[in-house]
Structure 1
Amino acid sequence: MQVKYCSSCGHLLVKRDIDGNNRIACPECNFVFWGNYSIGVGALVLKDNKVLLVRRAIDPGKGLWTNPGGYIEQHEPIEQTVVREVLEESGVSAMVKEVVAIRDLPRDIHNLYVAFSMEYIEGEPCPDGMEVDAAGFFSLQEIEHMNVAGFTRWLVDVAFHGKNQGLIVDQNPIVPLTGYSLFRVSTHL
């Protein structure tokens, strides 16, 4: 779907050269349409050397096993999104430990996916009955015989074989930045 009207003043948009790129912009105000973007999150929750997976009950990927995840809501910090998605899809409570992988998928709606390693807190896996029809913790051996999505297989490899600590939540940045979610490499060796 192509954007046709300015979301600020309602004027018909035109193509203009902006910083050497042909962009859709408003000829009457300063509005520039920079593109469509979506940000997804995924959880890698480990418990007893098993990873939490859910089976998709809807498309895309109906019938495939994936790690729990979803899309951020406007004004929702990314680390709260992944906690919410794990709880909604599997009934499991988990806490963000670190960012362990990022997938960039440039297309008409440019998709960025951030994968988090998460610490299991409590709960037995239980599907939500809408997006997910099964949930559980599975070993690498069990996963080999399951219908697991390719990208999830890659993430499971990251979860079990990642050698370095990922980006951790910066709870105490050197400068107060209210409203930001900040992640950094650990300063601990």
Structure 2
Amino acid sequence: MIDLHSVSAGGVIWKDGQVLLVQVNYGSNKGLWMLPGGLLNAGESLEQAVVREVVEETGVTALPTRIIGIRSGVRQAGDRLETGIYVVFEMSYVSGELSALDGNEIAGIKFVSPNCILADPEVIDLSKHFVRTAMASSTTGLFRTEQQMAITTKYILYDVYSTAQAGSKD
């Protein structure tokens, strides 16, 4: 048995007190609403992937500000086991109008109030969980470190997140 690994990223994107959702057009969640996001490409950071996926799926540009959760899981994929890691960012809306640029994966896009999301049976439970988490506190999570760090390894770039916000004392 060959094991597989997948890494994906999604975002809770706020605009005017509402959260961006997409209706997927494939897979086991077909027809349901969830947070935008998707799989990382080779050579891509989590941040690059979530920004790219959000633009592709919604037409919106948003930037990650903190990690609000991680889902890890194992699933059967044919005769293989797949370990999946899903990192969810809270993201700040920058610009853009709603439009599904990929034309294939996404059946609908909308901004929805958090209370409507939590009450809607067509929103997947995992997305509800991360919206609830983002609503619970703006001071918890892993925050992006704004300082550039010296890289002394073969990494091209670092994106570092920690529990202390920039400028706060531990």
TM-score normalised by L of structure 1: 0.75
1:15-43 CA-to-partner distances (Å, cap 9, x unmatched) read xxxxxxxxxxxxxxxxxxxx421111111
Cα distance in structure 1, aligned partners of 2:58 and 2:149 = 36
Cα distance in structure 1, aligned partners of 2:120 and 2:161 = 35
Matched, 1:87 2:87: no
How far does residue 106 in structure 1 lie from its aligned partner after superposition?
A: 3.0
Cα distance in structure 2, aligned partners of 1:163 and 1:96 = 13
Name the counterpart of 1:183.
161
Cα distance in structure 1, aligned partners of 2:100 and 2:69 = 25
Matched, 1:135 2:109: yes
Cα distance in structure 2, aligned partners of 1:167 and 1:60 = 30
What's the secondary structure of 2:132's corresponding residue?
helix
What's the secondary structure of 1:87's corresponding residue?
helix
What's the secondary structure of 1:106's corresponding residue?
strand
Unaligned runs of 5+ in 1: 4-34
**Correspondence for 1:121 among 88, 94, 108:** 94
Q: How many residues align?
A: 157
How far does residue 162 in structure 1 lie from its aligned partner after superposition?
A: 3.0
Give the share of equivalent positions with the same residue, in percent. 31
Higher helix share: 2
**Correspondence for 1:111 among 80, 84, 103:** 84
Matched, 1:48 2:16: yes
**Correspondence for 1:172 among 135, 147, 170:** 147
Of stretches 86-95 and 160-169 in structure 1, the one that deviates more from structure 2 is 160-169
**Is the CA contact (8 Å cut-off) linking 1:41 and 1:114 kept in structure 2?**
yes
Cα distance in structure 2, aligned partners of 1:174 and 1:45 = 27
Look up the equivalent residue of 1:172 and give its one-letter code. Answer: Q
Cα distance in structure 1, aligned partners of 2:68 and 2:37 = 14
TM-score normalised by L of structure 2: 0.83
Cα distance in structure 2, aligned partners of 1:51 and 1:73 = 25
Cα distance in structure 1, aligned partners of 2:143 and 2:151 = 17
**Is the CA contact (8 Å cut-off) linking 2:145 and 2:166 kept in structure 1?**
no
Cα distance in structure 2, aligned partners of 1:182 and 1:122 = 24
Look up the equivalent residue of 1:79 and give its one-letter code. Answer: E
Matched, 1:154 2:129: yes
Runs (4+) off by over 4 Å: none
Greater RCO, 1 or 2 (C-alpha within 8 Å, sep 6+): 2
Q: Compare CA radii of gyration and give the structure with the larger one.
A: 1
